[in-house]
Amino acid sequence: MPAVDGLPVEKTTFERKSEIFKMNEMDLPKQRAAEKALELIRDGQVVGLGTGSTAKFAIEGIARLVREGLSLKGVPTSIATERMARELGIPLIDLNEAGTIDITVDGADEVDPDFNMIKGGGGALTREKLVALASTKRVILVDETKLVSRLGESRLLPIEVLPFARRMSASRLTELGCVANIRLQGETPFVTDNGNSILDCEFGPIDEPGTLEKRIKIIPGVVECGLFIGIADSLVIGFNDRVEVRERPA
């Protein structure tokens, strides 16, 4: 297996996510979910704009609302989202200007029955979490394939780390019971919008995601973890023939 800094590499997660704008058989459920979420956006709001294939449809819909006369300001969660929103004519501000965000619309890689999530397949986990935590309402858009009984069933867990310490961080992460793979873009390590690296960690099904998140966050060199615990408020699920809206269990 190829390696960087002595760490195994993980190409498949990023390469799969790097194709997020290609049409595929799951586009219809994603579009359904995005259109339903637009009903929650009101005039005058500050709106967090997510990153990824499902959020893309929401951003396109928000741009349509702006063209139709809705007044709002968007806070992008990645450089790619910022670029797309500007091209579509959505007025933007950054998180420092926004302060409190009224509503954020974003996607997820996995969601468990308690609305805990794995995010970060596109590498924007740190900004996505910051924007979500600054938001009064967090709306998560998924298709039915993202629903799992336990996090980690189908996805690796992305963890953003300082490049300076990625070997040390990976070593400490393996002590928690995972295989840590350095994410590549082409033949070189993937670089986040914050200038950091991503370790895609294979934990398998996670029994206590909240506890694991806390243990990961205290590891030296870790910037942010792709576990989003207790953050999602509403889940909009797209199916081939319908949309369901679920609220987080009390």
Cα–Cα distance measured from residue 247 to residue 233, given in angstroms and rounded to the nearest whole number = 6
Query: Is 128 assigned a catalytic role?
Result: yes
Element (H, E) at 211: helix 209-217
- Identify which of 28, 12, 10 has the alpha carbon closest to the alpha carbon of residue 237: 28
How is residue 190 written in tokens? Answer: 């993937």
**How do strand 46-49 and strand 101-107 relate by DSSP bridges?**
parallel
| Catalytic residue of the set 10, 35, 128, 160 | 128
In 3-state terms, what secondary structure has residue 198? strand
How is residue 82 written in tokens? Answer: 């910022």
Backbone torsions φ then ψ of 109, nearest 5 degrees: -90, -35
* Torsion on CA atoms 107, 27, 80, 10, rounded to nearest 10: 80
Catalytic residues: 128
